[in-house]
Amino acid sequence: MSLSLTELTLSHFRSHRLGRLTLDSRPVAIFGPNGAGKTNILEAVSLFSPGRGLRRSSADDMTRRPEALGWKLTGVLQAQGSVREIETWSEKGAARQVRIDEKSASQIALGRIARVLWLIPSMDRLWIEGADGRRRFLDRMALSFMPEHAEVALTYEKSMRERNRLLKDQVRNAHWYGALEAQMAEAGHCIHQNRIRTLALLSGAQEQAETAFPVADLELVQTEGEMPETQSDLREALAESRFRDLAAGRTLVGPHRADLYGVYAAKSVPARDCSTGEQKALLVSLILANARALAEQIGAPPILLLDEVSAHLDANRRAALYDEICALGAQAWMTGTGPELFAELGSKAQRVEVTEVDGVSQIAIA
């Protein structure tokens, strides 16, 4: 069984006034000069999954200027033996909408049929920057396994924002906190359990695989204190922390205080202390492990988006990556400046050339 996007149309999206692609399930090698619009294609594909896409941009920022007031993406998804027609768009900067088989749908519904993973250059600094990025990285993986994770996370964030507003206003009446803390405890415990399950799935996928990439030992830690083990414990911890939280003006306990700690297993070296090349290899390893675990779970590998994937990978590791992608059977969309970066793929991939003419991206099957 396969999961692939076989038709894609971009209308007034970023640098693309109008672009169309008709493809098969093989990997897609996209090449062209810097600034031509290659990454914009990957961003478009990322919007066939829940969320704000691989750049985390607002819907308004994705609109082509100056002639358009919105954008639209349409695609045909081959999903485990069925064909689904998907549309997603935004008008005048409003929140994006989704339609599946000509019926309005939620992003949660989209996540149940389209599983999309990505690795982009900004993630190369994942191990050495703040915990926020590592939480997002882990939550994207959790979302791939459990589409409902997005809704739970939104519930937690909304309740926490309201609680933080009370804290900043120095509201001390316990009555105002009870319902919010109950919601936070229920959603927060679920978030924590989803993350733990995700780490277990990744660990299993890494242990069972024969791969040229280094294994990463991962651990979920708290930036301060410990995460309460049960829903009732988290609710109690939130109540007990009110005095401290009032002084700080924000919530100091919960899954939003978690961090992802990684170790290069073969060397017992923390990921943050590894070389740039080793850090990149660890990220590639985790994306592949995520893909293998998903293939085991849903019966098909996810769509992979690998932007400038050759950066920090030597020729041998690049060839090994291509071999693993092909063995997995994933439709991987990869970008690079020239076709020579994908030479090792031979006829196993289809090639797309992107050029820029007068500020407009042009797409052509090479």
- Between the alpha carbon of residue 41 and those of residues 73, 105, 219, 353, the distances in Å are 10, 23, 33, 11
> What phi, psi does 364 have (nearest 5°)?
-145, 140
Q: Which two tokens stand for residue 87?
A: 């549309």
Closest CA to 354 of 307, 310, 315: 307
**Paired strand residues for 319:** none
Closest CA to 57 of 35, 39, 32, 74: 39
Percent of the chain clearing pLDDT 70 (strictly above): 99
Block residue for tokens 């998903």? 294
Average pLDDT over residues 20-27: 96
Q: Are 253 and 225 in contact (CB under 8 A)?
A: yes
> What phi, psi does 163 have (nearest 5°)?
-65, -40
Block residue for tokens 């829903």? 231
Q: Which residues does 364 contact at the CB level (< 8 Å), separation at least 6?
A: 352, 353, 355
Torsion-angle region of 178 (φ positive above 0: left; ψ -120 to 50: alpha; else: beta): alpha
Model pLDDT, residue 132: 96
CA–CA gap between residue 333 and residue 28 (Å, rounded): 5
Helices H, strands E: what count in the chain? Answer: 9, 15
Which strands form 70-79's sheet, in the order they lie side by side?
16-22, 3-13, 70-79, 82-91, 97-100, 103-105
Q: Which residues does 278 contact at the CB level (< 8 Å), separation at least 6?
A: 214, 264
Q: Which two tokens stand for residue 191?
A: 């978030």
Task: Return the SS3 of 268.
Answer: coil
Flag whether pLDDT at 95 surpasses 70. yes
Model pLDDT, residue 1: 65
Average pLDDT over residues 326-330: 95
Average pLDDT over residues 20-45: 97
Model pLDDT, residue 289: 97
The 10 Å Cβ neighbour count of residue 267 is 11
Flag whether pLDDT at 313 surpasses 90. no
The alpha-carbon radius of gyration of the chain (Å, integer) is: 22
Model pLDDT, residue 280: 92
**Identity of the amino acid at 143:** L
Model pLDDT, residue 310: 79
Mean confidence (pLDDT) of the chain? 95
Max CA pair span of the chain = 68
pLDDT in tens, 134-192: 999 999 999 999 999 999 999 999 999 999 999 999 999 999 999 999 999 999 999 99
Q: Which two tokens stand for residue 105?
A: 């749908």
